[in-house]
Amino acid sequence: MRKIVIINSSGTYSGIGHYSYDLSKILNCQLYTIIYDNKNASYPGETVNSFLPRLPGRYKFNIKFQNIIFKKFINNIQNIDHDFIHFSSQEVRPFNSINSSVTIHDILGITGQNKIIEYNFKIYKNFKNVLSVSNHVKNRLIDLGFDSNIKVIWPGIKNFYKLKDRANIRKELNLPADKILLLSVSDSRQRKNLGFLKELVDKMGDEYKLIRIGSPVGDSITFNNVDSVTLNKIYNACDMMVYPSTEEGFGYPMAEAFMTGLPVVASNIEIFHEVGGKAAYLCDLNIDEFKSGIEEVWNNRDQYAKSSLERSKMFDYNLYTLNVIKYFNSLINE
């Protein structure tokens, strides 16, 4: 394959960061991460830092004035020997539209009235080559005036798989052996609905315990920045995932749960119908409905675990790899 450069802006432990890293490995190409905010402890690929000191509001400032602040990097990228630039996140302000493509993961920056992202979309709208991670996002982009010729490739999931001997895994992770463990994986942004989650868990009773990957919720047992082996063990140690998000572009935790055979109870939103199919138990955002859903899944856990594993085939990493290579080959050989 001819030479491609990937430009990212997200941290290692984010969904987009994982996506960008995987893309660079599949395509065997250089990955650069522009550091807009310095909130993350780790970034994938080769990092590109601003020459400015850390200042309040620096994130938006750095994106808005990217062509000045990162001028040297941009000039170098445009002059090095490569055939194609791929922007792996819509957060990156595009600095080249010829022989370029973009992955748009969601439209949350626009729905959340982020003027920086909205400006980026005006540029990306003119891109000939737009890739997205779900039909849900594709349809929203068309509504915003993008050309309908958007390619959708569902992400592939790796490093998640079913393990045996849950009791020993719980013991190793210091998780309670006598509780029904509810897993939640997310950051603390408003759309993750953590207030709803806390209210739900409080209502579930003492036999349930919340396991969080992210910020704590109530008296949850919380993990952060764990390696892929430990992360897989956490998924396998739990009894089900609870996912009350109000909006997602894809919903990586749901697909990851399926890979481990973990049943999922999630909010009844469009993207979860696409990703979950009939495997996930979807509820309207009502505490009593979610409570009933959790009880239904627990009482029929073997059936839902089987459905999760069956659905996981849709996110096979080898299939994803083939689709990615085929797509980028078609772009650079035009």
Q: Has residue 175 got a pLDDT over 60? A: yes
Strands 221-223 vs 84-87: parallel, antiparallel or unpaired: unpaired
User: For position 40, what pLDDT does the model report?
Assistant: 66
Mean pLDDT of 98-116: 83
Domains defined along the chain, listed by start: 4-156+317-332 (3.40.50.2000), 166-315 (3.40.50.2000)
Report the predicted TM-score, pTM, of the whole model to 2 decimal places.
0.92
* 152 class by beta-carbon count within 10 Å (0-12 exposed, 13-18 middle, 19+ buried): middle
More confident residue, 170 or 61: 170
Strands 84-87 vs 4-8: parallel, antiparallel or unpaired: parallel
Q: Has residue 56 got a pLDDT over 80? A: no
User: For position 81, what pLDDT does the model report?
Assistant: 65
**Order of strands, sheet of 130-132, starting from the edge strand that comes earlier in the sequence:** 46-48, 30-34, 4-8, 84-87, 100-104, 130-132, 151-152
User: For position 127, what pLDDT does the model report?
Assistant: 93
What band does 334 get if pLDDT is binned at 50, 70 and 90?
Answer: low
Q: Where are the alpha helices (DSSP H) in 224-316?
A: 228-237, 252-259, 270-276, 287-299, 301-311
